[in-house]
Copies of this chain bind each other. A is one copy, B any other.
Amino acid sequence: MSEANITKSIEWREDHVRIIDQTYLPLRTVYCDIRDVGQMWDAIKKLKVRGAPAIGIAAAYGFYLGIKDLELDSFPSFIIEANRIGEYLASSRPTAVNLKWAIDRILNSINALKEKPIDEIKAEVLALAKIIHDEDKRICKAIGLNGQDIIPKKANILTHCNTGSLATGMYGTALSVIYHAHLAGKKIHVWVDETRPLLQGSRLTAWELQNAEIPMNLIVDSAAGHLMKSGKVDLVIAGTDRVAANGDTANKIGTYSLAVIAKENNIPFYIAAPLSSIDMSLNSGDEIPIEERDGKEITQIGTTKIAPPKIETFNPAFDVTPAKYITAFVTEKGIIKGDYSKELKKLFN
């Protein structure tokens, strides 16, 4: 396999953005060319592009598409329009932190350039969008390469949810470690948890690995324990939504269970975490709020209803894995082990 087999969820192509329309996955691979900010708003809103870093990158390119044809010569008129575009893009997914972050970063840059000609500002915005994209790729690549220290030459790896190219600028986080193990010629095989309720494992991770021709088997989440007990898993690696200062880690529902079973079977359990997901303002996992989502995610798949009408559900989207179950964190600054309260702090010094 070469890098060419690794999915690119988003690409700048001369004068427009090409994304994989993720709403068609995994049954069809449909690319979507985005040429104006309205199309990008729609793509983010309708989850054609998803995953926190990928959304930030999409918004940055979308911002440039929004300003590039503005025929305004004065900065005061230009910045009014630019602010409007920022607000518009931010409204596509109001709770997405990376979306807001990318838009603010671009607006700050524009304000810093206010003495420059408008055309130059426009060019700088495109340059910044590319930088935001490249930074994310670089971070993901560094995680993937740093992760090689924990991947043996031959390994059965179990992973959960989607932490891949589809969610980031490229490579992903936990999946980047897997991609780079494969690129390095290691003999790896991946057990992919389907990841109920939204099936990011079967819909996205399985699709990415299949594209990259990495040997894998899709399993139901409940089968992971049986595999670990049977000696068929050498390590578990997952991503994270948020890590607290003590190492407690929030991630997709089911991650905690995997960590407990891994520990019981003496299997190393790793979290791939970019520094941007480590939140030093939280002392422990107890401070991480757990989002509860619509029960329809449990009672219905596609058009198929799978539970009795009017059934009560409980649908937490995440769980928190206490630090003690985590063998190490893989970050863009290296592998973090030991006393996480100390070691994570060092990353930010």
Chain A residues with CB under 8 Å of chain B are: 25-27, 191, 194-197, 199, 202-203, 206-207, 210, 215-227, 229, 253-254, 256-257, 260-261, 264, 290, 295, 298-299, 301-316, 319-320
Task: List, in ascending order, chain B residues with CB within 8 A of A302's CB.
Answer: 301-304, 306
Least distance between A227 CB and chain B CB atoms (Å): 8
Looking at the complex, which one of B195, B225, B298, B315 makes contact with A202 (CB distance below 8 Å)? B298
Least distance between A189 CB and chain B CB atoms (Å): 10
| Cα of A313 to Cα of B215 in the assembled complex, Å | 11
Task: List, in ascending order, chain B residues with CB within 8 A of A307's CB.
Answer: 26, 194, 199, 202-203, 206, 218
Q: Is the CB of A254 within 8 A of B206?
A: no
Task: List, in ascending order, chain B residues with CB within 8 A of A299's CB.
Answer: 202, 218
Most buried by B among A215, A257, A298: A257
Looking at the complex, which one of B25, B216, B301, B308 makes contact with A27 (CB distance below 8 Å)? B308
Task: List, in ascending order, chain B residues with CB within 8 A of A312's CB.
Answer: 215-218
Looking at the complex, which one of B199, B210, B311 makes contact with A210 (CB distance below 8 Å)? B311
Looking at the complex, which one of B26, B220, B290, B301 makes contact with A308 (CB distance below 8 Å)? B26
Q: Given known contacts A306-B202, A308-B27, A309-B27, is B219 in contact with A315 (CB within 8 Å)?
A: yes
A226 to chain B: closest residue by CB: B319
Least distance between A210 CB and chain B CB atoms (Å): 5
Q: Can you name 18 A-B residue pairings with CB atoms under 8 Å?
A: A25-B308, A26-B308, A202-B298, A202-B307, A202-B308, A216-B312, A218-B299, A218-B311, A221-B222, A222-B222, A223-B319, A226-B253, A226-B319, A229-B256, A229-B320, A260-B260, A302-B304, A302-B306
A195 to chain B: closest residue by CB: B222
Task: List, in ascending order, chain B residues with CB within 8 A of A199's CB.
Answer: 306-307
Task: List, in ascending order, chain B residues with CB within 8 A of A206's CB.
Answer: 307-308, 311
Q: Given known contacts A199-B306, A304-B304, is B220 in contact with A319 (CB within 8 Å)?
A: no
Least distance between A151 CB and chain B CB atoms (Å): 21
A219 to chain B: closest residue by CB: B314
Task: List, in ascending order, chain B residues with CB within 8 A of A26's CB.
Answer: 306-308, 311
A303 to chain B: closest residue by CB: B304
Task: List, in ascending order, chain B residues with CB within 8 A of A319's CB.
Answer: 223, 225-226, 229
Most buried by B among A27, A191, A320: A27
Most buried by B among A191, A217, A223, A224: A223
